[in-house]
Structure 1
Amino acid sequence: MVNKLLYSFSILFSILLSGSYCQAQKFGFQDVLDKSPTVPTTFCIPKTESNISALNQAEITVKYSTVDWLFVTATPQWIQNAKSNQVISDFYFELAPPRLLADTARVAHYVNQVHDGLGGLQTPFTGKDVIIGYVDTGLDFTHEDFKNDDGSTRVLRYWDHTLATGPSPGTYGYGTVWDSTAINNGTCTSTDSHSHGTIVTGFGSGNARANGRMKGMAPESDIIVVESDLNAPNWTLMIADACDYIFKVADTLGKPAIVNLSLGTYIGSHDGNDPASEAMEAMLDSQPGRIIIAAAGNAGLNGKFHVENTVTTDTSFVWINSNPSGYYGANTIYFDLWSDLTDATFDFGFGADKPSPDFEFRGMSNFHGATSSIGSIIFDTIWNNGNQIATIESYTSIVGSNYNLQVIFTQIDSSSYLFRFMTTNSGQYDLWSGSFLGYNDFVSTNLPTTAQLPAIAYYVLPDSLQTIVSSWNCSEKVISVGNVQNRLGHIDGNGNQYYTAGMNPPGKLALKSSKGPSRHNIVKPDISAAGEVSLAAAPLWVPSIPQAYTVLDSGLLHMRNSGTSMSSPLVAGVAALYLEKCSKAPYTDFKADMIATAFSDGFTGTLPNFGYGHGKIHALNLLLETNFTTFVAGPDGICDEPIILDIGSTETISSADWSDGSNLTPLSTSTPGDYSAIVYNLQRCISYTDTHTVAQFVVPTIDPITQIGDTLYTLSSHDYQWTLDGSDLVGETNPELTVTAPFGSYTCYAVSADGCVVETNLVTLTVGLESIALDEFSIYPNPVRDAFQIKSKSEILHVELIDAAGKKTNLVNNSGLGYSVSHLSSGLYTIIVTTESGVFQSKITRM
């Protein structure tokens, strides 16, 4: 028999924190102090200068802080001594027991199209280079679905809160952390002995490498595992540590990250303002590329365990049944009350009634002002004619802007009594209990008439709302996920058909999915997804247990699970697809886009509501919501100089990666070819431009301008256009230009069919060509028979003769004889003289 604890799939696995209900001012703290006085434990302390100084003097490191709290790891003994000696002003302690809260799901939520890059997407998205951190019961990382193609692990880090051997990461001071090297070389000893964490991770990140089946939502995502200690005190603070750790590892790797929390507690303020929630919200606000996804809870079938009451001067009450199997002992009663501090203006007391048929009031305690004894235990007794009916302890505290009252009936005279919680005066409160938690049920049926019991007119009926888990799940910044039916059933490991009890149709809200809203009436859950009857990776020890075949898939490598524990990693996986496309998107963008693209159907009814939230997540439309248009703008070809290619977009561009390897925008290039770019907006959402082809254009040629008398000449491979002082000369489109006053600066340019332009040198004239020549030099005799002389003010560098046909001949001065033209036939010639001061020309006549 394998010594493992197999997770129960019909009833959520539950580990409840033990806690004392006597002698300690913080409910449950004395028990921790008695049992584990020197074990490093997570605490938070009010953020004051004196507390900061006290921690510094004690050399206790502040792991991180928020506006209100300092988060530390310290021993319960140090906390007790520091508080008793007034070294610290106060500390936060909670008794909030944790609860562990795919192929068809990918179809139901349009994930396959995202994996394939279809439906309007430009490329596939599979979660590559995005981290999903799973805070759960651990992971069997030996399962092939959590390995790369080369057999190496996809798990980057594994922080085991349950293992005290160390080393612990950073400043957290507890647990043991393993890296991928330890996992790959087989030295990591942590694993998943419950199965819950492996299934959850598989549904979010499994890659189907084992047998090609049950691929998760983000099959190429990186994985970080935090194995939670479900027996730890101040458990929610350890979850905040886990989130902080995951985000910090992601930061060092330069990757975005999602944290999946498929676990929670039904006890707490239910407003997202507790210390753990405040810390998580600060993490989300600190930088983009961070998202937290949480399971809403699975208490939809656990009855009416919530009471909400607006208090008036008429004394109202709710009845609570004792529990023979109570968590704090047989026939004890416990409930947890929360109120905004501004609403904690009521007085409270307790009473007892005989049940039907008498419904006789038997006695009551004193009334107490809600905030009259903060931090002290209130001891009460219900008497009836000198007989003790019940003894009660009340623990009051202020947590930030909230008021908390925890009540325990430690001893009762008869389990048949109906026990009252009574309030009067003014204010408002919410309270929770529930026998499914090991606590107590409120009475909601078989109530007496006012004739039987007149006070029943002021009875506060319990309800089935606000059955979601508390803490972070109620934060407006954390995505809370409700659960809809995924499958009706599947073929199990024995080859038998399994069907879900009740045959709830796929797509309908699962019967046990918890309902919102938060205590402050924020819509919760935010979204819903298919989780009920889902299949994902099973720890490899499970198939060795024959009894487990009923929960295994026919391939024996995947197993069944249900609940918001599964719908949460579905949304976490979709969030990884989103952050792969938009790696710098803040959680606010993800939430807004998720809500904007959520879909409804015949099951959801009017949205939003407290079951489906804003609807069902639509992975494809969610990613399409981030699409933006980009294109390459620029010339279609290159002439003889570099061209500029720019990117046009419907959004502000932060950067671009060009196909030639450049990341500069605009891009200067002199190389023809195909150009495209991967473009990122301010949220690093990715868009692919079209391909822009740049051709090599034909570049025309043109000779320098030659001056012959009052005519300028050039020769081009294409057309001609003469200019004067930068403006085209109308009609001057021939190789020569006869210049006339007014003079100026002349050029000629040619344009190819592709639009490439080439232009001559600039020739500037202020007077006629002949006038310039006469002033600078003279030629004699002219007309000439055999030779001529040149008289010049400047040294002559070169002399050239041009005949009527444009043929050029270099002339050389023969000492004493001049420049010979005896070999020329009679006619008119142009002489070009280059001197130190310029180029001049004149005409001669050969006789």
Structure 2
Amino acid sequence: MSKILDNNYYDLIISTALAPTYDTGDNITYLNRQNSLLHIPIGNANPCDLGRHSYSSFPTLFTLTSTVSLEKSGVNTVQQNPALALFGSGVLVAIIDTGIDYRHPAFQNSDGTTRILSIWDQTIQTGTIPDSFNFGSEYSKEQINEALSSEDPLSIVPSTDLNGHGTAMASILAGSPNQEQSFRGVVPQAEFIIVKLKEAKENLKAVYFVPESALCYQESDIILGTRYAVEIAANANRPLVICVALGSSQGGHDGRGAISAYLDHLTLLPGTASSVAAGNEGNDQRHYFNSTAAPPYYNDIELRVGNNDTLFSMEIWSYSPARLTIDISSPNRESTQPIFPTINQCRRFSFIFNQTTIYVNNIIFEEETGDQLILLRFSNPLPGIWYLRTQNPENEPFSFHSWLPAGPLLSNETFFLNSNPDTTITSPGNARHPLTVAAYNQNNDSILPESGRGYTRTGQIKPDISAPGFQITCAVPGNQYGTATGTGAAAAHAAGIIAMVFEWAIVRGNYIRMTGNDVNRLMISGAIRNDAYSYPNNIWGYGQVEINRLFERFTNL
């Protein structure tokens, strides 16, 4: 078995420049020119393996950013006929997600042939492995067409989408029209590159204290899926729009991280763009912010822990030059006493009068950011209100952010009592150059309460723009139609508009050097702005995306 699939090996992110010094022949997986994976034996797994190895070397965990429903909405979803008859012809769109129901008519031409150029299913190990990769199965357009014309398609191309999220996102972006369902994707003539992500390794979930049953995906597989899409597009000599409808609240919310850096790089290249969901953490009470400017120089975080959350983590990121201690008190007032920062120490605390175990990494400087990170991992915490006292031993002003995990990795019963809805955009939405998309209700022009809010922890303006994201009509597996709500749906919608610009600029030869970042700036300049607000702001970004205004600016150039 390939080590990238073997749960007896950790996948650690290292610099590609350093990979040759670790290479023993089968322990390195190349991700991209910046990073590679080092596969190391786990041995006796211990939560303090995160401590022996740096926080940033463990891939981040990502969850889905839209809720897909089978209920029909009947909503006319602001998918008007694009100006200049731009339908995405000649453009490739990549969906890196839960897969696709390739048998759905939303992904077929009028003659019943597929609009999918290729599928890389990371979960199937019995087919042909794609070139330059070392696991999964690749299915070509020809194989998919053969499957569609057979009586038993899955015997030829066994790839499916049991979740439905990837199918929904792909259809919003570029689904073929269905008049009965009042459905049409934004660019129904674009072709698809589909990556079905394998689920995160159990050992990575264990390191981050994520329940085994939680559905999540690891950063390294998303990077590999992105590189696959880039290589397919390069071979086809076609422009590419990458849609990332996934998000994570791990990390410093500052645009760093392996997947953010990769998308940053790609978005500055001609003919490559990325549309990223802002996440749905705006109203989940999972972010806390404190700024202590006067004595006494401490702050008490109040964390409400629900009955069902028996395994979870929490991160505290402070700003230099502060150097914080943390003292954790249970609802029955047992305490760890102050824990001081160190370089790589990992400490375990077992409470006497309840079943709680807490692992604490108070890292004086996290390698990727240089900032202090306090990582707390809870096992069987006593339900109730926990008190976490942060203090600056130097008796100087300090400030910090704290985040709980995103999406279904935590129930809504666990939250900060004095939460802050800002700085809740999930990774990779904090990256600088990808288009980060918030979601609004297109029926009443109100922002979705759950839509992630900016800015980044370092003050960079995000989100960039907002797009329709409420009960967007979409395809769901089994030849059915439903709706999708959330920033993932909004990111798919915006990705379709990017594809329209690429068709005008690159496919039609009007501006062949256009980069994804160029498109983003054009979309921002053409956005609709409400006189009641000032722009940019941390909720709407630069306004609501507007196709016709964008192309009016093109034609008036």
Is the TM value for this pair above 0.5? Answer: yes
Question: How far did 1:391 drift?
Answer: 4.7
Q: Distance in 2 between matches of 1:141 and 1:594?
A: 31
Structure 2 match to 1:418: 386
Structure 2 match to 1:200: 169
Structure 1 match to 2:432: 476
Is residue 274–residue 399 contact of structure 1 (8 Å, CA) maintained in 2? no
Question: How far did 1:76 drift?
Answer: 4.9
1:96 aligns with 2:61: yes
Q: Distance in 2 between matches of 1:588 and 1:535?
A: 28
Structure 1 match to 2:496: 573
Is residue 42–residue 71 contact of structure 1 (8 Å, CA) maintained in 2? no
1:366-515 correspondence runs (5 A): 366-370=337-341, 372=342, 374-380=343-349, 391-396=357-362, 398-403=366-371, 404-410=373-379, 415-416=383-384, 418-424=386-392, 425=394, 426=396, 427-433=398-404, 437-438=409-410, 440-444=414-418, 462-470=419-427, 472-487=428-443, 506-515=444-453
1:150-549 correspondence runs (5 A): 150-186=111-147, 187-208=156-177, 213-232=182-201, 233=204, 235-285=218-268, 287-303=269-285, 305-309=287-291, 314-328=297-311, 334-339=313-318, 343=320, 345-352=322-329, 362=333, 364-370=335-341, 372=342, 374-380=343-349, 391-396=357-362, 398-403=366-371, 404-410=373-379, 415-416=383-384, 418-424=386-392, 425=394, 426=396, 427-433=398-404, 437-438=409-410, 440-444=414-418, 462-470=419-427, 472-487=428-443, 506-540=444-478
Is residue 303–residue 385 contact of structure 2 (8 Å, CA) maintained in 1? no
Q: Distance in 2 between matches of 1:198 and 1:326?
A: 30
1:542-621 correspondence runs (5 A): 557-583=480-506, 584-601=513-530, 605-621=533-549
Which blocks of at least 5 consecutive residues in structure 1 are unaligned? 1-31, 118-123, 356-361, 445-461, 488-505, 542-556, 630-847
Structure 2 match to 1:106: 78
Question: How far did 1:249 drift?
Answer: 0.8
Q: Distance in 2 between matches of 1:77 and 1:351?
A: 30
Q: Distance in 1 between matches of 2:187 and 2:482?
A: 19
Is residue 99–residue 196 contact of structure 2 (8 Å, CA) maintained in 1? yes
Q: Distance in 1 between matches of 2:31 and 2:356?
A: 44
CA deviation vs aligned residue, 1:511-534 (integer Å, no higher than 9, x gap)? 222222211122222111112011
Is residue 59–residue 220 contact of structure 2 (8 Å, CA) maintained in 1? no
Q: Distance in 2 between matches of 1:321 and 1:596?
A: 43
Farther-moved stretch of structure 1 (70-79 vs 258-267): 70-79
1:641-720 correspondence runs (5 A): none
Is residue 350–residue 382 contact of structure 1 (8 Å, CA) maintained in 2? no
Q: Distance in 1 between matches of 2:448 and 2:54?
A: 46
Is residue 394–residue 406 contact of structure 1 (8 Å, CA) maintained in 2? yes
Q: TM-score by structure 1 length? A: 0.55
CA deviation vs aligned residue, 1:660-703 (integer Å, no higher than 9, x gap)? xxxxxxxxxxxxxxxxxxxxxxxxxxxxxxxxxxxxxxxxxxxx
CA separation of 1:406 and 1:128: change in aligned 2, threshold 3 A: same
Structure 2 match to 1:785: none
Corresponding residue SS for 2:246:
coil
CA separation of 1:79 and 1:71: change in aligned 2, threshold 3 A: farther
Q: Distance in 2 between matches of 1:596 and 1:291?
A: 17
AA aligned opposite 1:438: L
Question: How far did 1:55 drift?
Answer: 1.9
Q: Distance in 1 between matches of 2:181 and 2:386?
A: 57
Question: Comparing both chains, which one has the higher relative contact order based on Cα–Cα distances under 8 Å and sequence gaps of 6 or more?
Answer: 2
Higher strand residue share: 1
Question: How far did 1:312 drift?
Answer: 6.8
Q: Distance in 1 between matches of 2:53 and 2:288?
A: 35
CA separation of 1:241 and 1:531: change in aligned 2, threshold 3 A: same
Is residue 16–residue 32 contact of structure 2 (8 Å, CA) maintained in 1? no
Structure 2 match to 1:37: 8
Question: How far did 1:52 drift?
Answer: 2.5
Structure 2 match to 1:790: none
Question: How far did 1:126 drift?
Answer: 1.0
Structure 2 match to 1:132: 93
Is residue 286–residue 404 contact of structure 2 (8 Å, CA) maintained in 1? no
Instruction: Please identify the structure whose Cα radius of gyration is greater.
Output: 1
Is residue 54–residue 88 contact of structure 1 (8 Å, CA) maintained in 2? no
CA deviation vs aligned residue, 1:608-632 (integer Å, no higher than 9, x gap)? 2222111001112223333367xxx
Which of residues 606, 615, 622 in structure 1 aligns to 2:550? 622
Q: Distance in 1 between matches of 2:55 and 2:463?
A: 33
Is residue 327–residue 438 contact of structure 1 (8 Å, CA) maintained in 2? no
Q: Distance in 2 between matches of 1:589 and 1:194?
A: 34
Corresponding residue SS for 2:275:
strand
Which of residues 88, 109, 120 in structure 2 aligns to 1:148? 109
Q: Distance in 2 between matches of 1:193 and 1:89?
A: 35
Question: Could you say what the CA RMSD is over the residues aligned between the two structures, in angstroms?
Answer: 3.4
CA deviation vs aligned residue, 1:364-393 (integer Å, no higher than 9, x gap)? 4343333x1x3331234678xxx7896531
Question: How far did 1:274 drift?
Answer: 0.9
Which blocks of at least 5 consecutive residues in structure 2 are unaligned? 67-73, 148-155, 205-216, 507-512
Is residue 320–residue 443 contact of structure 1 (8 Å, CA) maintained in 2? yes
CA separation of 1:339 and 1:281: change in aligned 2, threshold 3 A: farther
CA separation of 1:209 and 1:79: change in aligned 2, threshold 3 A: farther
Q: Distance in 1 between matches of 2:329 and 2:175?
A: 54
AA aligned opposite 1:419: Y
Corresponding residue SS for 2:400:
strand
